[in-house]
Amino acid sequence: MRNTNRQWLINDRPTGRPLKDSDFKLVEGDARAPSEGEVMLKTLYLGFDPAQKGWMENVGGYVAPTEIGDVMRGSGIGVVVETKHPKLKVGDYVAGQIGWQEYTTLAGGELEHIKDKEFATAYLGALGTTGMTAYFGLLKHGRPQPGDTVVVSGAAGATGSMVGQIAKIAGCRVIGIAGGKEKCDWLIGELGFDGAVDYKNENVREALKKFSPGGYNVIYDNVGGTILNDMLAQLAMHGRVAICGGISRYERGQMPAGPENYFNLIFMRGTMSGFIVLDYIPEYPVGRARMKQWIAEGRIKFKEDMQEGFENAPQTLMRLFQGKNFGKQLLKVADA
């Protein structure tokens, strides 16, 4: 007897506008039995990132294009319910690009076996692509040194909150930019940031200058647009700018205008570099081991925004663009 499988399909391209319900289509069918080397998974959790909207629009140039009617792409955690793979057995937890569906059949080699189940959801956040993005983006491109002052945009988000904490471990002074008093208070009171700017209620450029009149040695940008422009205005001599993402671009569906203050890179002899975390996959074991150690020591804390119900997947993605998520955005689909 086959398992009934619900799937969310891409139904439209949200280019130049916010996401809406009609961009997705819910369908139902039978789950596919695994062939040799494959496993069937029952989806337990889905993870959400702003880049998913770009994938729907085909503006994420580092991934294969999507088509209308495709299963919506996304990372997730699943439990093996059928297996024809020699190293994965029924009951094993795995992580991978499983898409928005209740059951997934994939080659076992495309999945990561999660042996420490107590950390399961962390493999979508602090120990997954999110944490690795923060770790390698900051250390390889920001190159923080003890005594540096670091500013992070999107600081209360899953990636930004990790960046700030890693910078503190590296001996830096850290200022975060976030939306709303609750998020700013969390950055300072819970995560140990040295200051926070509420972009919804403060003049970002003036607040940044007040926190660090001498400028910022490291800028880690998750937002783009005017906030990047305001941060570049406060670049310190020989400052490093790491460009991670641009939620402002994902929401508008087009590239924002180039920052007016880019010439400050010349005046301050600074550098700006972009990166894709997939470039560092061979180094993931080292980064993940260090992150696990810091979590165990209480030096890295992470927050998960857990929604529930497979039918709520589209609305859960929309939360990222409405500023509603607080920490890594996740959706619980089923119990194991």
pLDDT of residue 78: 98
Residue 322 and residue 220 in one domain? no
Radius of gyration of the chain (CA): 20
**Number of domains into which the chain is organized:** 2
pLDDT of residue 254: 56
pTM to 2 decimal places = 0.84
152 domain-assigned: yes
Please report, for the domain that includes residue 19, its CATH number: 3.90.180.10
Neighbours of 335 (CB within 10 A): 7
Q: Which of 305, 61, 11 shows the shortest CA–CA distance to 161?
A: 305
Residue 21 and residue 136 in one domain? no
73 domain-assigned: yes
Note whether 50 and 15 are within 8 A (CB).
Answer: no
Residue 108 and residue 170 in one domain? no
Please report, for the domain that includes residue 138, its CATH number: 3.40.50.720
Beta-sheet strands, E only, within 11-73: 24-30, 38-47
321 domain-assigned: yes
- The helix-helix angle for 225-232 and 204-211 (nearest 10°) equals 30
Q: Which two tokens stand for residue 239?
A: 């400052």
Q: Which of 314, 327, 286 shows the shortest CA–CA distance to 140?
A: 286
Residue 44 and residue 161 in one domain? no
Contacts by 303-312, CB closer than 8 A, 24 or more apart: 303/161, 303/186, 303/327, 303/328, 304/121, 304/125, 304/328, 304/330, 305/329, 305/330, 306/121, 306/330, 306/331, 306/332, 307/331, 307/332, 308/332, 309/333, 310/6, 310/43, 310/100, 310/102, 310/334, 311/26
- Phi and psi at residue 67, to the nearest 5°: -125, 150
SS3 295: helix
187 domain-assigned: yes
Residue 311 and residue 254 in one domain? no
SS3 299: coil
Residue 274 and residue 319 in one domain? no
108 domain-assigned: yes
Beta-sheet strands, E only, within the chain: 4-10, 24-30, 38-47, 76-83, 93-96, 103-107, 112-114, 149-153, 173-178, 195-198, 216-221, 235-243, 271-274, 304-308, 328-332
Ramachandran bin of 286, using left for φ above 0, alpha for ψ from -120 to 50, beta for the remaining angles: alpha
Hunting for tokens 């928005």 — which residue is that? 100
Residue 166 and residue 270 in one domain? yes
295 domain-assigned: no
Neighbours of 58 (CB within 10 A): 14
**Antiparallel, parallel or unpaired: β 328-332 and 304-308:** parallel
283 domain-assigned: no
Residue 81 and residue 26 in one domain? yes
Residue 18 and residue 150 in one domain? no
Residue 68 and residue 93 in one domain? yes
**Antiparallel, parallel or unpaired: β 149-153 and 173-178:** parallel
- Phi and psi at residue 21, to the nearest 5°: -55, -40
Contacts by 109-113, CB closer than 8 A, 24 or more apart: 109/37, 111/39, 111/41, 113/87, 113/88
286 domain-assigned: no
Digit-by-digit pLDDT tens for the chain (336 residues) are 568 999 999 999 999 899 999 999 999 999 999 999 999 999 999 999 888 998 999 876 677 889 999 999 999 999 999 999 999 999 999 999 999 999 999 999 999 999 989 889 999 999 999 999 999 999 999 999 999 999 999 999 889 999 999 999 999 999 999 999 999 999 999 999 999 999 999 999 999 999 999 999 999 999 988 999 999 999 999 999 999 987 655 555 555 666 888 899 999 999 999 999 989 999 999 999 999 999 999 999 998 999 999 999 999 999 988 878 888 999 999 998
Residue 134 and residue 104 in one domain? no
pLDDT of residue 259: 84
Note whether 333 and 319 are within 8 A (CB).
Answer: no
Residue 202 and residue 91 in one domain? no
pLDDT of residue 336: 81
- Phi and psi at residue 314, to the nearest 5°: -60, -45
Beta-sheet strands, E only, within 179-270: 195-198, 216-221, 235-243
pLDDT of residue 61: 63
Domain housing 184 = 129-278
